[in-house]
Amino acid sequence: MDLWSILTWVVVIILLSVTYWYMTIPNNLPPGTAGLPIVGYLPFFNLQPNITMDKLAKKFGNIYYVYMGSQLSLVLNDFESIKQAFLTQGDTFAGRCHLTEFENTNGEISGVVMTDGEFWKQHRRFIIRNLRDNGVGKLTIEPLILNEIQYFLNELKKLDGKGSFDLKTYLATSMTNNINILVNGRRYNYDHPIVADTLKSLKDFEEVVQVLPYETFFPWLKPLLLKLNSKRLARLANFRAMADKRMASVIEETASNFVAGQTDNYVQAFLTEKNNRSKNNPNETIFTDNGLIAIALDLVNAGTDTSASTLVWTAMYMAKYPEIQRKVQDEIDSVIGQREPSYNDRSNTPYVEAIINEIHRIVSLVPVAVPHRVIKDTTFYGYNIPKNTMVIPNLKAVHYDPKLWGDPENFRPERFIGSNGECLKPEYLLPFSIGKRACAGEPLARVELYLYFVSLMQNFTFLPPEGKELSFESPPGFLIQPKTKLISIKTR
Ligand code: HEM
């Protein structure tokens, strides 16, 4: 074949694939873009996808489609469309996509965060019931968290006058203990290998996880990249292997002291449920040993960095706005004084609540939540949305919508204070998302944020790191985490 024939064939193949690409776009989608054949719009996405999503919303409106590789995706960029999808059409929009970043070492997706269908439904219900039974959302969890806070405060007190330090490590250590208390009924000393190992693996994950990695949309890439020694994928695989091993040993320890019928912590309750089900059905597939490892890990992974980073941001904003810090300390001094705080105090401390709300809004810690999936063909605002469309809610766009907030760029807790001095709870503040897939740990996170923030403000004043400017930059990732976590404290 001569050169001209080869070139002609190449042009024909390109034209055919472009035609095929555009012909396979379903009819009656909302406005949007298919991007380029095969790769879709993926190459044009910023590593912080919400930035690109905002730009596309300016062109296509608040509901639009975009292709990630050949994966059709629906982006929801305002409160009304997210509410319609996740509340009004909640069941249809409650699926999850297969994200390779969350595969276990066998290439499977398990646990509760990334699964859907009957397995997810039963486990989500079980987790929420178990957290409630163990006192989350009620006051019975409070003494356990307050006890953990004492250990945490004692560590921080040693740092006064010693220059700036990484607050996140201390907070993550303490938060992971709160989850340990719920999952396996015990806290660990801060130098215990389980704690060090958990923090190391979470740090590894934070450094390498991507929201829209190419391997998710081109699964054949993953084995290829692993063969080519991709450091990122190797670290991800290592994170998962270490985490599975650690959790298996924690569960084994808890199970070795387990007496049939116990339900004092999550592992015990799970084993009791599993035994009861196995008696009735020897082929039980929902409550399994591997399921327990994956779900317990999900709780540790979802419940550690989220609450810890929210509190690091809070400390940084307090250091940046000393007059706001002074005002909240005054409120705490006059309402609670030096006694231990209680979650019941919150109705008398509206400014504490307003600051926590404003941190949720301005930080938007999980900017695009976790992608959802449409589980059956549906219509949405008159458009046809096919089964298996990925759905990405841009929660950060809601938190920065000037129509809802007026001056979203400003840190202004007062926006949450009502005319009678009470703390407002607008329905469009969505840090935990909404609907069937909303954060299962929200009640725990709310108690933690309140008790830790009040305890910190009773004991310390936050200051910028010595000799340095506070930086509010954050590296790309699932969570918006501060790039530089250094901060100074002064004991009050
Ligand atoms: C400030 C703290 C937290 C924030 C901002 C947060 C936020 C979120 C968000 C946005 C989602 C995704 C919702 C969606 O897909 O629509 C989520 C899911 C989840 N979170 Fe949290 N979270 C926090 C703390 C926690 C804690 C402490 C736990 C653990 C006990 C937890 C457990 C979970 C679980 C299990 C899911 C998956 C729910 C499902 O897919 O059904 N989170 N969280």
* 265-284 pLDDT, tens digit each: 999 999 999 999 988 888 88
Q: How many whole angstroms from 333 Cα to the centroid of ligand 1?
A: 32
Other CB atoms closer than 10 Å to residue 52's CB: what's the count? 17
**C-alpha closest to that of 244 among 105, 64, 408:** 105
Residue 231 is predicted with a pLDDT of 85
Domain range for residue 429?
Answer: 3-491
Q: How far apart are CA 190 and CA 285, in angstroms?
A: 37
Give the model confidence (pLDDT) of 159-216 as tens digits: 988 889 999 999 999 999 999 999 999 999 999 999 999 998 888 888 888 888 888 8
Average pLDDT over every residue of 96-121: 90
Residue closest by Cα to atom 36 of ligand 1: 439
Amino acid at 22: Y
Mean per-residue pLDDT over the chain, rounded: 92
| Residue of higher predicted confidence among 486 and 401 | 401
CA 191 to chain centre: 26
Confidence band of 486 (pLDDT split at 50, 70, 90): confident
CATH number of the domain residue 299 falls in: 1.10.630.10
Tokens of 44: 């044009």
Q: What is the mean pLDDT of residues 317-340?
A: 97
Residue 43 binned pLDDT confidence (cut-offs 50, 70, 90) = very high
The string over 454-484, giving b where at least 16 C-beta atoms fall within 10 Å of a residue's C-beta and e elsewhere, is bbbbbbbbbbbbeeeebebebeebbbbbbeb
| Cα 339 to averaged position of ligand 1 atoms, centre (Å) | 31
One-letter-per-residue 3-state SS of 150-182: HHHHHHHHCCCCCCCEEHHHHHHHHHHHHHHHH
Predicted local distance difference test score (pLDDT) of residue 227: 78
Helical pair 442-459 and 167-184, crossing angle rounded to 10 deg = 140
CA distance between the termini of the chain: 83
DSSP annotation of 87: I
97 annotated among ligand-binding-site residues:
no
The two tokens of residue 258 are 């387990």
Q: Where are the beta strands (DSSP E) in 394-465?
A: 460-463
The two beta strands, 95-96 and 165-166, are unpaired
Nearest CA owner, ligand 1 atom 3: 306
Ligand 1 center from residue 438 Cα (angstroms): 7
Q: Report angle CA 146, 152, 155 to the nearest 5 degrees.
A: 150
**Quick one: average pLDDT of 51-76?**
96
Rg of the chain over all Cα atoms, to the nearest angstrom: 24
Amino acid (one-letter) located at 244: D
Q: What is the 3-state secondary structure (H, E, C) of 95-163?
A: EECCCHHHCCCCCCCCCCCCCCHHHHHHHHHHHHHHHHHCCCCCHHHHHHHHHHHHHHHHHHHCCCCCC
Q: Are strands 165-166 and 460-463 parallel, antiparallel or unpaired?
A: unpaired
* Contact status, residue 464 vs residue 470, Cβ threshold 8 Å: yes
Please give the average per-residue pLDDT across 366-370, as a whole number: 96
Instruction: Find the 202 Cα to ligand 1 centroid distance in Å.
Output: 16
Ligand 1 site residues, Cβ closer than 6 angstroms: 112-113, 124, 298-299, 302-303, 306-307, 310, 365-366, 369-370, 431-433, 437-441, 444-445
* pLDDT of 1 strictly over 80: no
Best residue among 439, 446, 452, 480 to mutate for probing ligand 1's pocket (most ligand atoms within 8 Å of CB) is 439
In this structure, of 160-164, 184-188, 289-293, 341-345, the range with the lowest mean pLDDT score is 160-164
Amino acid letter for position 425: K
Calculate ∠ Cα 275-279-281, nearest 5°.
110
Q: Determine the distance from the C-alpha atom of residue 410 to the mean position of all C-alpha atoms in its chain, rounded to a whole number.
A: 24
pLDDT score at 421: 96
Two tokens, residue 366: 């999980």
Residue that the structure tokens 């105090």 belong to = 345
The confidence score (pLDDT) of residue 424 equals 97
Nearest CA to ligand 1 atom 35: 440
Domains: count for the chain: 1
Highest mean pLDDT among 16-20, 52-56, 156-160: 52-56
- Nearest-CA residue for ligand 1 atom 6 is 432
